[in-house]
Amino acid sequence: MTNKMETILHCHDIVKIYDDGELKVKVLQGITLDVYKGELLMLVGPSGCGKTTFVSVVTGLLGFEAGECKVLGRDLSKMSDEEKTTFRGKEIGFVFQAFNLIPALSAIENIALPLTIFGTDKKEALSRSLKILKAVGLEGKENFLPGNLSGGQQQKVAIARALVHNPTLVICDEPTSSLDHKSGQMVMELLTKLIKEKNMTMIVVTHDNRIYKYADRIAYMEDGKIKKIEEVSK
């Protein structure tokens, strides 16, 4: 459940403008949002409303023109690009719609990547990766290449990779849109179970109204603004 005593993400009046030299587009038009420790917040709305831009801003992948954004108490506007990269690597996990697995690496090697990139000993990285691979139900698949796994299994590998370094905040961009209904439900059951066990916080960007029931709150976006936020009855 939501713990409103601790704010993981605080955004106030965030403005993001895309400027290609000829045309300026105000993609985010004053977003204000707090996300609390331990909650699952879903960010929903039509394509082009700014959802992916917003999560790119709050993870430091994109800059912004106005407003305030603090993640785990860190002010993104005062961090260098190098600091943001290190911060993401330690504190944030990403689950993508397209899985983004490396085809030439085995399942366990894909999972270990966030650890090895930031200097974890290879033996330790593989040990931790094997543990979470078992947790997502893929024991025995550690040496399989992504191409030899089903879509649901590939998404499980992607989830394990996102969580292997024990991030505080997990960002999921359309985690079920490439999956059939049964696989999508299975992935959400798994995500919510792991997040709860590890007391992580998760933001899910989605068009899939079949998974709304897994949220603690739903933030509805339209035209670069958050129109309303609803608590989800459990």
Mean pLDDT of all residues belonging to the chain? 90
99: in domain? yes
Please tell me the total count of domains within the chain.
1
Q: Model confidence over 19-61: pLDDT tens digits?
A: 877 888 899 999 999 999 999 999 999 988 999 999 999 999 9
Residue 2's pLDDT band (boundaries 50, 70, 90)? very low
224: in domain? yes
5: in domain? no
Residue 177's pLDDT band (boundaries 50, 70, 90)? confident
Residue 5's pLDDT band (boundaries 50, 70, 90)? confident
20: in domain? no
Domain extent for 184: 38-53+80-231
116: in domain? yes
Task: Please choose, from the candidates 95, 98, 103, the residue with its C-alpha nearest in 3D space to the C-alpha of residue 148.
Answer: 103
19: in domain? no
User: What pLDDT does residue 184 have?
Assistant: 84
Q: Quote the pTM value.
A: 0.89
187: in domain? yes
CATH of the domain at 121: 3.40.50.300
- Across the range 192-216, mean pLDDT stands at 91
